[in-house]
Amino acid sequence: MKTVFLETYGCQMNVADSELMAGVLERAGMALVDRPEDADAVILNTCAIREHAEQRVLGRLGDFARLKAANPELVVGVAGCMAQHLRAKLLEKRRVLDLVVGPDGYRRLPELLRRAAAAPVADVRLDRDETYGDLEPRRERGVRAWITVQRGCDKFCTYCVVPFTRGRERSLPLADLVRQVERAAAGGCREIVFLGQTVNSWRHGDDDFADLLRAANEVDGVLRLRFTSPHPSDMTDRVVAAMAECGKVMPHVHLPLQSASDRVLEAMNRTYTLDGYRDVVRRLRAAVPGIALSTDLIAGFPGETEEDHRRTVDYMREVRWDSAFLFKYSARPDTKAFRWPETVSEDEKGRRLTELIELQHALSGEIHDALVGTEEEVLVEGRGRRDDGQLYGKSRTFRTVVFGDDGSAPGTLRRVRIVGATPVTLIGESVDAPRPEPLVTIGG
C-alpha cells in the first residue's frame, strides 16, 4: 500500500480531518496522489448532515466500482460522519467497499488500509478521549490554516446527527493549539481559523475560549484570527471582551440561529430564545463596531407553521445578516426529530427556502452596495480560478474582494477601494499597490 487518493465532502471540519489523515498516511510512508487512477487506495471523507450529502457519496462510489472492476486490488474506503452513521451496514450495502472508518479511527488508518487489502474492515469506535492533539496535520499550502480546537458535540439539537457521528465534546489542550498556530505561522499561514462544532464552548482545565483567543493573538506571524461556529448560548462576556481586545481577532462571526420562532427553537433544543440571540447580537455589535454577522437557518422543521416561518423572515429584515447558509430540513436517522412526523411538505419546504434565499440575496446586495466607495483591508489569497488578471482575498469582515492584479503576493495585506458589488463579492482597486523594488540603490 503506497499511494492514497483522498476526497473530501462536507464542512471545514472534514477538510481539517483530511489534512490530519494526510499527515498520518505520510508519516506511515504513504504518498497522497491527485488522481484515483494512480492510487492503491481511495478514501472518501464524508458528511452525513443532510440526506443529500450521503446521496452524493453513494453516487461517487459508483465511479470507484468501475475503477475497481479494472483494478481489483484497489482498496476503497469511506471515512468520516457517513461511515460512523451507517457503520457496518455500508460494507454490506456497498460491495465495492473494503474499509469503513469513523472520525475517531484516523490514528489507525495505515494499519486499517493494510488489513482492508485482505478482507473488509469496519472501525467505528467512538473514543471519548481522542483529540489527535499530538498529531501534526499535513496542511494545504495557503494563507489560511483551519485548526480543529474541539471535536464532537454535546448540544444534541433534535435535528442534528453530529453528536452521533462525532461523539462527545472534547477540547484540545491550550499548549498543543498554540504550538499548532506557531507551526502554521512558521509555514507561511497568515490567517488562523479555529474550528469546533460549538467552538466558543472550548474549555481545557482552567482555560476557556477567551484565553485561547488571547494566547493565539500573541503568536508572531499571525495577522488574523477567526473561529467557527460559535453557539449563541456560549457567547459569554469574556469571549466578547477577548474579541474586542485582541487586535488580530477579525470582526466577523458566523452565529447560527436556525429559526426565529421560540416554539421551533425549543423543539430544536437550541437552548436560547430569539431575545437571547438578539442580546448576543447587541453585545457583539456594541463591543466590536462594524462587526459582520452571518448565520444558518433551517426551513420546514417538523411543526414549523407559516407563522413561525414569517417570524424568521421578519427577523432577517431586523438583524440584517451579511450572509446566511439556508437549508431545507432533512430528517436524519438517530436524531430525536426523526421520530416526529414531518408536517411540512417538500414543496412547502422548497417554497419557504426560496423565500429565505431571495430575501437574503436582496439584503446581502443592499449591505454590499452600501460599501461601494469605502476602503477594505484585504488579505491577498491569490489569482482567481478564471485567471483573468484579478487577485482575490478576504476583507476583515470575511467578505470576498476581487481586484486587479497589482503584483501583490499571497499573504500580504492590501488596502482596496470598493468600486462595485454583487450580493456575494466586492469588486475593488488597490490603493496601495506594492512598489517595485528599485534595481540599484544610489547614494547612502
Cell numbers found for residue 243: 474579541
Residue 234 CB partners (closer than 8 Å, separation 6+): 198, 200, 201, 209
- Rounded to a whole number of angstroms, the minimum distance from the CB of residue 157 to ligand SF4 is 3
**Which residues, other chains included, contact 326 with Cβ-Cβ below 8 Å and sequence gap of 6+?**
296, 297, 299, 353, 356, 357, 360
Q: Is 257 in the site for ligand SAM (CB under 6 A)?
A: no
Q: Which does 272 bind (CB under 5 to 8 A by kind): ligand SF4, ligand SAM, none?
A: none
Contact present, 15 and 46 (Cβ < 8 Å): no
296 lines the binding site for ligand SAM (CB under 6 A): yes
Grid cell in block for residue 399: 467578505
Q: Considering the complex, state which of residue 24 and residue 162 has its C-beta at the smaller distance from ligand SAM.
A: 162
- Cβ-contact 79, 123 below 8 angstroms: no
Q: Which of 5, 159, 209, 227 binds ligand SAM (CB under 6 A)?
A: 159
Should residue 49 be labelled a site residue for ligand SAM when binding is judged by CB under 6 A? yes
Whether omega before 408 lies within 30 degrees of 0, making that bond cis, reads: no
Out of 209, 272, 329, 398, the only residue in the binding site for ligand SAM (CB under 6 A) is 329
321 interacts with ligand SAM by CB under 6 A: no
Q: Given the complex with ligand SF4, which of 197 and 395 has the nearer CB atom?
A: 197
For residue 256, state whether it binds ligand SAM (rule: CB under 6 A): yes
Under rule CB under 6 A, residue 258 binds ligand SAM = yes
Q: Which three cell numbers stand for residue 345?
A: 411538505
3-state secondary structure of 323: strand
Residue pair 132/170 in contact (Cβ under 8 Å)? The answer is no
* Binding partner of 412, given ligand SF4, ligand SAM, none, CB within 5-8 angstroms per partner class: none
Minimum CB distance to ligand SF4, residue 122 (Å): 24
| Interface region with ligand SAM, contact rule CB under 6 A, candidates 62-70, 179-187, 322-330, 371-379 | 322-330
Residues 6 or more apart in contact with residue 415 via CB below 8 angstroms: 375, 376, 377, 378, 430, 431, 432
149 binds ligand SF4 (CB under 6 A): no
Nearer to ligand SF4 among residue 48 and residue 210 (C-beta): 48
DSSP letters spanning 68-86:
HHH-TT-EEEEEEHHHHHH
CB of 255 to ligand SF4, least distance (A): 12
Q: 198 or 408, CB closer to ligand SAM?
A: 198
Per CB under 6 A, 160 contacts ligand SAM: yes
Q: 81 vs 391, which CB is nearer to ligand SF4? A: 81
Q: How far apart are CA 147 and CA 139, in angstroms?
A: 10
Is 156 among the residues that bind ligand SF4 (CB under 6 A)? yes
Residues 6+ apart with CB under 8 A from 69: none
Q: Identify the sign of the CA torsion 126, 132, 137, 143.
A: positive
Is 90 near ligand SAM (CB under 6 A)? no
Counting contacts by CB under 6 A, is residue 16 touching ligand SAM?
no
CA atoms within 13 A on the CB side of 418: 23
Instruction: Tell the smallest beta-carbon distance from residue 2 to ligand SF4 (Å).
Output: 36
Residue 281's SS3 state is helix
- Least distance from C-beta 341 to ligand SAM, angstroms? 15
CB of 89 to ligand SF4, least distance (A): 22
Beta strands in 373-435 (DSSP E): 375-383, 390-395, 400-404, 413-421, 425-430
What are the residues whose beta carbons fall under 8 Å from the beta carbon of 258, sequence distance 6 or more?
157, 264, 265, 268, 270, 296, 297, 298, 301
Q: Choose, by CB under 6 A, the member of 78, 99, 116, 160 that binds ligand SF4.
A: 160
Considering only CA atoms, give the Rg of the chain. Answer: 23
Among 18, 197, 201, 395, which residue interacts with ligand SF4 (rule: CB under 6 A)? 197
Taking CB under 6 A as the criterion, which residues in 391-410 touch ligand SAM?
A: none
> In the set 10, 137, 163, 232, which binds ligand SF4 (CB under 6 A)?
163
- Under the criterion CB under 6 A, does residue 325 sit at the interface with ligand SF4? no
Contact residues for ligand SF4, defined by CB under 6 A:
153, 155-157, 160, 162-163, 197-198, 231
Contact residues for ligand SAM, defined by CB under 6 A:
11, 49-50, 159-160, 162, 197-198, 229, 231, 256, 258, 296, 298, 327, 329-330, 332
